[in-house]
């Protein structure tokens, strides 16, 4: 494929993946990394549910239970859901807008490695036996007094991973602003690109507060700061504000790309243009904006007073309006469509009722008085799992099946896909629906065990069996992935047959330069327009084929991150060891030298020649026939 002389063998392949700056390969790396952490978080969830299967269970200790719930939440949000979505954004979004690459390929790679090493740092805590145990929100009143290094792993690991997220966000924003193909106006962008755009803008404004909050936590725990210690004049509520100013937008950062995936899936498999495209775009932007106006609804019971609570209650409920607009637009997209029930479409169909239920219970808690009743009960657990699993995870699975052929050039098995869906969907509702009632019946969240005779036994048993079904469903999916990969039957450009957007116009997987010639976009659903007009090549080029400028691969992003990883251990141990400070300085210096190496050597990339592109096209045509 690549025009540069390629060495073969395991070492060369490994080196290729470590140094890649190709957005499609980085997308695959994000996907694999995210799936790895998804399995890890899933195992943690299973142990939590097994512990709660019967009253007075002692499968795990109370301390270990705190470790498990903390790591389950942190892992799923930061290391599974977001990276997998980033995987799709990386692999698909540039193709959808007809770009050759993202705006900053080097920084794209850096962002991935920061996620990978940050996640590794967080999870190495298991090997040390000192695991974060203050909840994924890590409220300062708990986290400051958590013994050992558990919370230190949280603060530093998330700092590294969060830096990577911010870089990825800026990268996607610039890509969409500057690198759209001719004719791709903002109001012709596919919905997934739009949601990537808005989610990235939210990342840009939500992650800096997290950065600051984590620094405060790091300073307080490791460097003698007093931000949250009330005996020194500090205030733990500051952490709560900072965390939720980040944390609530984060929920929308996760759900908006999932909305984008569903918008693509509905219009492709209903074989209709998305109903109310303009309203969809407007609703996306509005959700992005309102997402920043509502953080204090997580703090109704803190005692901010009725005025603050009322304002944030109203703002919170307002988000239901654009979300409702979206739900109706999806329904109306299907109305009168010629619906094909494929695996991605099944997830999309299952998503609507599931997510609406999560949304409704969200509005319930948006009412401050009701929130006082439901606060810290299992009702909350049920609510946010309905949103995150019923929205984000179903979206991820839909996207996984939908774009797998584009990313890997082979199709996941449809039958196994549907089996996965049934197990996962039934298991999901079984696990979490009953938890609404557990909350009403008074079961608090985050409890390690419960006593017999409170009427919670059967509900908890049902919930655990549901979790088991979800695990079976996921296992079937892993089997599906393995089988598909071994079989590796190549597919054509548009394996679903009804692709509407640009990514389906080029081979699966796409050549490393994406488009031989930049496409000319003539309207919304570009490829559909070309199909309707009977274009033979499926793409109207905007320019003749010329030499293409490509970036060089680089190992420096990984080395820069390695330095931060090392420095993290130094910061953590500098108080109790003599070598800690040295390691901290060494790690930072290592990163700085890597940065200097990048700055001092001009890396201008290379050119793919016109002849090579024409040869590639010739080969792929011959392969297809």
Partner 1 sequence: MDLNTKFTPETWPAHPERATLEAKNKFVGFWLFLGGETILFATLFATYMALKNKGPSGFGFTTQELYTLPLVFVMTMLLLTSSLTSVYAMYHLKSFNFKKMQLWLGLTALLGLGFLMLEVYEFSHYVQEGFTFSNSAFSSSFFTLVGTHGFHVAVGLVWVTLLIFRNSKRGLNLYNATKYYTFSLYWHFIDVVWVFIFTVVYLMGVVG
Among 219-227, 275-283, 345-353, 616-624, which window interacts with partner 1 (CB under 8 A)? Answer: 219-227
Q: What Rg, from alpha-carbon coordinates, does the chain have?
A: 25
When asked if residue 35 is in the footprint of partner 1 (CB under 8 A), the reply is no
When asked if residue 155 is in the footprint of partner 1 (CB under 8 A), the reply is no
When asked if residue 576 is in the footprint of partner 1 (CB under 8 A), the reply is no
Classify 184 in phi/psi space as left (phi over 0), alpha (psi -120 to 50) or beta: beta
When asked if residue 209 is in the footprint of partner 1 (CB under 8 A), the reply is yes
Whole-number Å distance between alpha carbons of 417 and 65: 33
Least Å from the CB of residue 224 to partner 1: 4
Number of separate helices (H) and strands (E) present in the chain:
22, 2
Q: How does DSSP assign 319-358, residue by residue?
A: THHHHHHHHHHHHHHHTT------HHHHHHHHHHHHHHHH
CB nearer to partner 1: pick between 108 and 493: 108
When asked if residue 38 is in the footprint of partner 1 (CB under 8 A), the reply is no
When asked if residue 605 is in the footprint of partner 1 (CB under 8 A), the reply is yes
CB nearer to partner 1: pick between 47 and 179: 179
What HEC string does 31-81 produce?
HHHHHHHHHHHHHHHHHHHHHCCCCCCCCCCHHHHHHHHHHHHHHHHHHHH
CB nearer to partner 1: pick between 94 and 439: 94
Closest by CA to 98, choosing from 186, 197, 182, is 182
Among 257-265, 377-385, 415-423, 596-604, which window interacts with partner 1 (CB under 8 A)? Answer: 596-604
Instruction: Tell me which residues in 363-402 interact with partner 1 (CB under 8 A).
Output: none
When asked if residue 229 is in the footprint of partner 1 (CB under 8 A), the reply is yes
Token readout for 15 is: 């080196």
Under 8 Å CB-to-CB from 355, ≥6 apart: which residues? 327, 386, 387, 390, 391, 394
Q: Which of 126, 139, 219, 289 binds partner 1 (CB under 8 A)?
A: 219
When asked if residue 608 is in the footprint of partner 1 (CB under 8 A), the reply is no
Among 79-87, 154-162, 224-232, 466-474, which window interacts with partner 1 (CB under 8 A)? Answer: 224-232
When asked if residue 238 is in the footprint of partner 1 (CB under 8 A), the reply is yes
Q: Are 55 and 451 in contact (CB under 8 A)?
A: yes
**What's the half-sphere exposure (Cβ side, CA atoms, 13 Å) at 467?**
24
When asked if residue 202 is in the footprint of partner 1 (CB under 8 A), the reply is no
Q: Which of 36, 215, 289, 586 binds partner 1 (CB under 8 A)?
A: 215
Q: Which of 47, 142, 174, 332 binds partner 1 (CB under 8 A)?
A: 174
When asked if residue 21 is in the footprint of partner 1 (CB under 8 A), the reply is no
What is the per-residue burial (b if ≥16 Cβ within 10 Å, else e) of 330-340? bebbbeebebe
CB nearer to partner 1: pick between 212 and 462: 212
When asked if residue 177 is in the footprint of partner 1 (CB under 8 A), the reply is yes
Residue with tokens 């219970």, as numbered in its chain? 361
**What's the half-sphere exposure (Cβ side, CA atoms, 13 Å) at 427?**
22
Sign of dihedral through CA atoms 98, 102, 105, 108?
negative
Among 149-157, 172-180, 482-490, 577-585, which window interacts with partner 1 (CB under 8 A)? Answer: 172-180
Least Å from the CB of residue 292 to partner 1: 10
When asked if residue 457 is in the footprint of partner 1 (CB under 8 A), the reply is no
Least Å from the CB of residue 367 to partner 1: 28
Token readout for 420 is: 């996965």
Least Å from the CB of residue 46 to partner 1: 37
Least Å from the CB of residue 245 to partner 1: 8
CB nearer to partner 1: pick between 251 and 388: 251
CB nearer to partner 1: pick between 242 and 349: 242
Whole-number Å distance between alpha carbons of 260 and 396: 11
CB nearer to partner 1: pick between 249 and 366: 249
Least Å from the CB of residue 223 to partner 1: 8
Cα dist from 556 to 151, 361, 569, 574, whole Å: 29, 47, 21, 27
When asked if residue 186 is in the footprint of partner 1 (CB under 8 A), the reply is no
When asked if residue 166 is in the footprint of partner 1 (CB under 8 A), the reply is yes
Least Å from the CB of residue 385 to partner 1: 29
Sign of dihedral through CA atoms 348, 352, 358, 362?
positive
Cα dist from 215 to 187, 218, 240, 577, whole Å: 40, 5, 14, 21
When asked if residue 597 is in the footprint of partner 1 (CB under 8 A), the reply is no
CB nearer to partner 1: pick between 242 and 613: 242
Among 36-44, 237-245, 439-447, 515-523, which window interacts with partner 1 (CB under 8 A)? Answer: 237-245
Cα dist from 233 to 223, 226, 419, whole Å: 17, 7, 57
Closest by CA to 33, choosing from 102, 111, 94, is 111
When asked if residue 546 is in the footprint of partner 1 (CB under 8 A), the reply is no
Per-position x/- string for 85-104, each x denoting binding to partner 1 as judged by CB under 8 A, each - no binding: ------------------xx
When asked if residue 145 is in the footprint of partner 1 (CB under 8 A), the reply is no
Whole-number Å distance between alpha carbons of 523 and 458: 55
CB nearer to partner 1: pick between 225 and 580: 225
Q: How many residues bind partner 1 (CB under 8 A)?
A: 43
When asked if residue 545 is in the footprint of partner 1 (CB under 8 A), the reply is no
When asked if residue 600 is in the footprint of partner 1 (CB under 8 A), the reply is yes
Provide the β-strand partners of residue 99: none
When asked if residue 182 is in the footprint of partner 1 (CB under 8 A), the reply is no
Provide the β-strand partners of residue 550: 606
CB nearer to partner 1: pick between 235 and 540: 235
What is the per-residue burial (b if ≥16 Cβ within 10 Å, else e) of 263-282? bbbbbbbbebebbbbeebbe
User: Which parts of this chain interact with partner 1 (CB under 8 A)?
Assistant: 103-104, 166, 170-171, 173-174, 177-179, 204-205, 207-209, 211-213, 215-216, 219-220, 223-227, 229, 231-235, 238, 242, 245, 549, 596, 599-600, 602, 604-605
């Amino acid at each position: 494929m690549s025009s540069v002389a390629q060495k073969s063998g395991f070492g060369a392949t490994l080196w290729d993946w470590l140094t890649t700056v190709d957005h499609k390969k980085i997308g695959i790396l994000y996907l694999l990394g995210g799936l790895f952490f998804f399995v890890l978080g899933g195992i943690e969830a299973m142990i939590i549910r097994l512990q709660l299967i019967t009253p007075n269970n002692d499968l795990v200790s109370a301390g270990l239970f705190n470790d498990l719930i903390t790591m389950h939440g942190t892992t799923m949000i930061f290391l599974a859901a977001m990276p997998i979505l980033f995987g799709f954004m990386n692999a698909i979004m540039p193709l959808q807008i007809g770009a050759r690459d993202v705006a900053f390929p080097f920084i794209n790679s850096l962002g991935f490695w920061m996620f990978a090493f940050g996640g590794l740092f967080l999870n190495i805590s298991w090997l040390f036996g000192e695991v974060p145990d203050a909840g994924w929100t890590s409220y300062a009143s708990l986290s400051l007094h958590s013994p050992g290094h558990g919370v230190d792993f949280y603060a530093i690991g998330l700092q590294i991973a969060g830096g990577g997220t911010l870089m990825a966000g800026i990268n996607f924003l610039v890509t969409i602003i500057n690198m759209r193909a001719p004719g791709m106006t903002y109001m012709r962008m596919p919905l997934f690109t739009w949601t990537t755009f808005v989610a990235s803008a939210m990342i840009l404004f939500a992650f800096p507060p997290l950065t600051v909050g984590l620094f405060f936590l790091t300073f307080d725990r490791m460097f003698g700061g007093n931000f949250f210690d009330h005996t020194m004049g500090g205030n733990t509520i500051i952490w709560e504000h900072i965390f939720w100013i980040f944390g609530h937008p984060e929920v929308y950062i996760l759900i908006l790309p999932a909305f984008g995936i569903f918008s693509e899936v509905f219009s492709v498999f209903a074989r209709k243009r998305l109903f109310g495209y303009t309203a969809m775009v407007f609703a996306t932007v509005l959700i992005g904006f309102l997402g920043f106006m509502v953080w204090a609804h997580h703090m109704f019971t803190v005692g901010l007073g009725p005025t603050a609570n009322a304002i944030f209650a109203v703002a919170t409920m307002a988000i239901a309006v654009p979300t409702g607009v979206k739900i109706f637009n999806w329904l109306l997209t299907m109305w009168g469509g010629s619906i094909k029930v494929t695996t991605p479409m099944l997830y999309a169909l299952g998503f609507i009722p599931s997510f609406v239920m999560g949304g409704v219970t969200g509005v319930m808690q948006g009412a401050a008085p009701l929130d006082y009743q439901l606060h810290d009960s299992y009702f909350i657990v049920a609510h946010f799992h309905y949103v995150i699993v019923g929205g984000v995870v179903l979206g991820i699975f839909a996207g996984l099946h939908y774009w797998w052929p584009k990313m890997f050039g082979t199709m996941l098995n449809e039958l196994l896909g549907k089996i996965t869906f049934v197990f996962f969907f039934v298991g999901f509702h079984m696990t979490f629906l009953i938890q609404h009632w557990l909350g009403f019946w008074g079961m608090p969240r985050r409890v390690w065990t419960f006593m017999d005779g409170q009427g919670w036994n059967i509900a908890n048993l049902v919930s655990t069996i549901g979790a088991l079904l979800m695990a079976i469903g996921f296992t079937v999916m892993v089997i599906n992935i393995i089988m598909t990969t071994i079989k590796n039957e190549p597919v054509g450009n548009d394996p679903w047959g009804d692709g509407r957007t640009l990514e389906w116009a080029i081979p699966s997987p796409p050549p490393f330069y994406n488009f031989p010639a930049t496409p000319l976009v003539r309207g919304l659903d570009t490829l559909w327009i070309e199909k309707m007009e009977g274009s033979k090549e499926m793409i109207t080029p905007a320019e003749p084929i010329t030499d293409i400028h490509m970036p060089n691969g680089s190992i420096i992003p990984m080395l820069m991150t390695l330095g931060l990883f090392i420095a993290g251990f130094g910061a953590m141990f500098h108080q109790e060891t003599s070598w800690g400070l040295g390691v901290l300085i060494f790690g930072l210096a290592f990163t700085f030298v890597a940065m200097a190496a990048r700055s001092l050597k001009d890396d201008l990339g290379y050119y793919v020649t016109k002849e090579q592109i024409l040869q590639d096209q010739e080969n792929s045509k011959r392969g297809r026939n």
